[in-house]
Amino acid sequence: MSVEAADRFEELLSRLFDGELTDTEAGALTALLRDHPPLRSELRQHLVIWELWSQQKAPERSADAFVAACHTRLRAERQGDSFLASLRERLPNKEHEEQRGASLWWWLRRPASLAGAISFLTAATAILFWFVVLPHRAVATVTLHGEAVCTACILHETHEHRPAIRVTEGGRTRIYYVKSDRHPFERAGDFCSAPVPLVVTGRAESKDGRLEMEASSVQRDSAPDSPAGPILFPF
């Protein structure tokens, strides 16, 4: 190998270790490695040596830091929801809203809940009415038992903070986007902080698969007495 090739290899090596190797220089380095097989072995040795040296010298790359990072990722992976629940529990001034969310979640999950059954039957009847009995019409007056959620803070769909009604029944969730005045929803509770359980009556409409609601009555739903259960997350 010529002196020029060796010098060029060192120069390109320096660029690589500085993270400044351009695509053109990478091409030049590749050509050198193809033409001079011993340089491949040298490059591999450099990569290994300076990787080990970096682990030894950089505190953030120490064995302890690496093991701790592995544990963090493992915990995050295995505990997913409970990790988030624990984090959310520590957020200030949220206890009240969380309890409401928890109660609602517990309530929604109860298969024998009379209110749930009524809500399901109401929604099912409305859907049957829309799509089977009156297929030419996609408007119906319905009463929904659900929760108000913010389309910006909770659904992350808009920039504007608007209420939507989330109805969960039989393992399915439907979102009704509120077309009418949002103030009745704001009076019912801070739907940007946490879901607010509501009973909403009004005209529901389906437009290209999107459900919209013009509310004529918005009432806070008093959740049945229930023990503290899993926290319902808005995300």
Partner 1 sequence: MNPDIAGTFDSLVREHQAGLRAYIRALGAQDAWVDDLAQEAFLVAYRRHEHFREGADFGRWLRGIARNLVLNERRKGARRSRLLQESIVDVLWTEEPASPGTETPDGRILAAMADCVTQLPERSRALLERRYSENADSESLGNIFQMSAGAVRQTLVRTRVAVRRCVAGKLGEAWS
List residues binding partner 1 (CB under 8 A): 10-11, 13-14, 16-19, 21, 23, 26-27, 29-30, 33-34, 40-59, 61, 63, 66-67, 69-71, 73-75, 77-78
Output 50 or 131, the one with its CB closest to partner 1: 50
> Minimal distance in Å, beta carbon 21 to partner 1?
7
Q: How far apart are the first and last CA of the chain?
A: 61
> Minimal distance in Å, beta carbon 47 to partner 1?
5
Output 71 or 207, the one with its CB closest to partner 1: 71
Distance separating alpha carbons of residues 144 and 209, to the nearest angstrom:
18
> Minimal distance in Å, beta carbon 168 to partner 1?
31
Distance separating alpha carbons of residues 134 and 113, to the nearest angstrom:
30
Nearest to 164 by CA among 148, 153, 184: 148
- Which whole-number Å values give the CA distances from 180 to 36, 39, 81, 124, 203, in the listed order? 74, 71, 34, 23, 10
> Minimal distance in Å, beta carbon 32 to partner 1?
9
CA dihedral sign, ordered 57, 61, 62, 65: positive
> Minimal distance in Å, beta carbon 3 to partner 1?
13
- DSSP-assigned beta bridge partners for residue 140: 204
Distance separating alpha carbons of residues 232 and 234, to the nearest angstrom:
7
Strands annotated E in 19-88: none
Output 59 or 209, the one with its CB closest to partner 1: 59
Residue indicated by tokens 């072995």: 41
Output 17 or 131, the one with its CB closest to partner 1: 17
> Minimal distance in Å, beta carbon 81 to partner 1?
16
Output 37 or 111, the one with its CB closest to partner 1: 37
Output 27 or 224, the one with its CB closest to partner 1: 27
With b for 16 or more beta-carbon neighbours within 10 A and e for fewer, the 60-91 pattern comes to eeeeeeeeeeeeeeeeeeeeeeeeebeebeee
> Minimal distance in Å, beta carbon 90 to partner 1?
22
Output 73 or 210, the one with its CB closest to partner 1: 73
